Amino acid sequence: MPRPIAATIHMGALRHNLQRMREAAKGRTLWAVVKANAYGHGLLRAARAFEEADGLALIDLCDAQKVREQGWTKRILLLEGFFDESDLPLLEKFDIETIVHNRHMIEILKAHAPFKSLKVHIKINSGMNRLGFLATEEEGVRAELEAIEGVRVMGVVTHFANAEPTYEADKPATVSLQLSRMRQIEPRPEHLCMANSAATLWQDDVKGDAVRAGVALYGASPDSHYTSEDLDIRPAMTLSAKILAIQNVPAGEAIGYGSRFVTHRDSRIAVVACGYADGYPRSTPDGTPTYVEGKIAPIAGAISMDMLTIDVTDVPEARLGSEVELWGSHIPVNEVAKRCGTIGYELLCAIALRVPIVEDEQ
């Protein structure tokens, strides 16, 4: 028997969320972002669920090859571009589009021309200061790229640092600042792709011809001040594990490593078959909710490698074998993340390889 833990991936939720983002994209091309093993949900599984998307966007050329070989015939975009000149023949062979974000990449393209057909997108740094050319450089970069035989400029992309609606207007790198820089590009590019999930959901000023939706497709709100229900998206991953022991612990006893949690009453403590080696963060504090037998039970004591402990004193129904939801439709992944000082994205994509994946149609 495998350990009694599973990440259940809800195919119906993935499909529902794709439709939801399709509506929010309002006729724009919809790239489904499937980087980081589809945010922990499984690359090939996500590609199946997102067959209605217009394209898949990801980071790793090997992953791009895998989805092609599985039969994905629509577009594929490398969000960080190619990393080495040896990638170029594969881009052509598998019809994979790449961003070009720096001069070094242009030089590589020049050195390896001519191409049969190599599709590139010009990445603009409009304020995030991570990848890309300045908007004022776009015209020159485009001319250089278009002069390379076989290179086809598909459009222009940029990325927002802060597209959440609760980001304050007096802070750096707002959407409106980044948009004002994008407006310096003249004439307006024939194909412009700017929005991530947050901008697609909340920033009506962000136009363009395409959007790149990631986290919302997996049912997590990009802004922790909003719930999935607020956005009509459904959590696509449930991380759950079973209770493998119950201890009746008198008041004044400490639980687990470091004795962080001390019982203030006679308590029932359940030991659950999930630990930090499964991707449940060790930094999770006491009081973080889990869901068992229809009730909330708080984390009590430090997370171990293979186990964690919850206080089920107020959940008399909890027994050996009861299933505990660590995150999913009752416990938003963002709620656990917030308690740990991080974001749902990190928890989803850190789900460990050893956790068995179960697929359902819900």
Ligand X SMILES: *Cc1c(COP(=O)(O)O)cnc(C)c1O
Output the known binding site. Answer: 130, 305
Nearest approach in angstroms of CB 240 to ligand X is 24
Nearest approach in angstroms of CB 257 to ligand X is 34
Member of 127, 222, 275, 332 binding ligand X (CB under 6 A)? 222
Convert residues 23-42 into a mask of x (bound to ligand X by CB under 6 A) and - (unbound): ----------x-x-------
Nearest approach in angstroms of CB 119 to ligand X is 17
Position 242 contacts ligand X (CB under 6 A) = no
Nearest residue (CB) to ligand X, 128 versus 262: 128
Nearest approach in angstroms of CB 14 to ligand X is 14
Nearest approach in angstroms of CB 208 to ligand X is 12
What is the secondary structure of 39-103 as a DSSP string? HTT-HHHHHHHTTTSSEEEES-HHHHHHHHHTT--SEEEETT--SSGGGHHHHHHTT-EEEE-SH
Collect all residues with Cβ–Cβ distance below 8 Å to 315 and sequence separation of at least 6. 268, 292, 293, 295, 297
- How many residues touch ligand X under the rule CB under 6 A: the total is 12
User: Of 174-213, which residues contact ligand X (CB under 6 A)?
Assistant: 196-198, 212-213
Position 75 contacts ligand X (CB under 6 A) = no
What are the φ/ψ torsions at residue 351 (nearest 5 degrees)? -55, 130
Q: Which among 66-74, 214-222, 261-269, 273-281 is the span making contact with ligand X, rule CB under 6 A? A: 214-222
Contact 324, 291 (CB under 8 A): yes
Q: Where are the beta strands (DSSP E) in the chain?
A: 5-10, 29-33, 55-58, 75-78, 97-100, 118-124, 151-158, 192-195, 210-213, 237-249, 254-255, 261-262, 267-272, 289-292, 295-298, 308-311, 323-327, 357-360
Nearest residue (CB) to ligand X, 134 versus 305: 134
Position 79 contacts ligand X (CB under 6 A) = yes
Q: Please pick, among 35, 119, 123, 242, the residue that the annotation labels catalytic.
A: 35
Q: Please pick, among 207, 218, 257, 276, the residue that the annotation labels catalytic.
A: 257
| Active-site residue, 276 included | no
- Burial zone of 166 (CB within 10 Å; 0-12 exposed, 13-18 middle, 19+ buried): exposed
| Active-site residue, 93 included | no
What span, in angstroms and rounded, lies between the C-alpha atoms of 160 and 128?
7
Catalytic residue ranges: 35, 257
Summarize as ranges the residues that interact with ligand X (CB under 6 A): 33, 35, 79, 159, 196-198, 212-215, 222
